[in-house]
């Protein structure tokens, strides 16, 4: 996620990406309170500029939901910026970042 402001951390959790009728299972590999880098496990096909995401954080029972727009694509990885996410879900992301820091994952 180039050109971002704020803390970000390496991570690994399941993400469901939906764009129109397309639905993809992905892995969240880098996260911040403003966006996410996902790995699709295969070369990215155009899935649309705006996507609905379900983020399955390991410490949460229910997925976080966010509307996101594509920022860049490189091979199987795609960076997305959150354009709509509830305050409660954004707080959960901040708590996840804090947990990652405590687990020894460096924050950038």
Domain ranges of the chain: 8-100
Query: Tens of pLDDT along 50-104?
Result: 999 999 999 899 999 999 999 999 999 999 999 999 999 999 998 888 888 787 7
> What's the rounded Cα separation, in Å, for the pair 70 and 92?
22
Task: Measure Cα distances from 51 to 33, 59, 64, 101, 107 in Å.
Answer: 17, 23, 14, 28, 26
Identify the pLDDT of residue 9: 84
User: Which class in CATH covers the domain with range 8-100?
Assistant: mainly beta
Q: What is the pTM of this model?
A: 0.85
Question: Does position 4 have pLDDT exceeding 60, yes or no?
Answer: no
């Amino acid at each position: 996620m180039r050109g971002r402001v704020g803390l970000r951390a390496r991570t690994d959790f399941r993400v469901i990406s939906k764009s129109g009728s397309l639905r993809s299972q992905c892995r969240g590999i880098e996260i911040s309170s403003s966006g996410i880098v996902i790995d699709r496990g295969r070369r990215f096909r155009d899935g649309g500029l705006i996507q609905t995401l379900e983020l399955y954080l390991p410490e949460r029972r229910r997925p976080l939901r966010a509307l996101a727009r594509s920022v860049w694509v490189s091979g199987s990885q795609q960076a997305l910026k959150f354009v709509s996410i509830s305050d409660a879900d954004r707080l959960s992301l901040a708590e996840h970042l804090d947990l990652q820091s405590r687990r020894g994952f460096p924050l950038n």
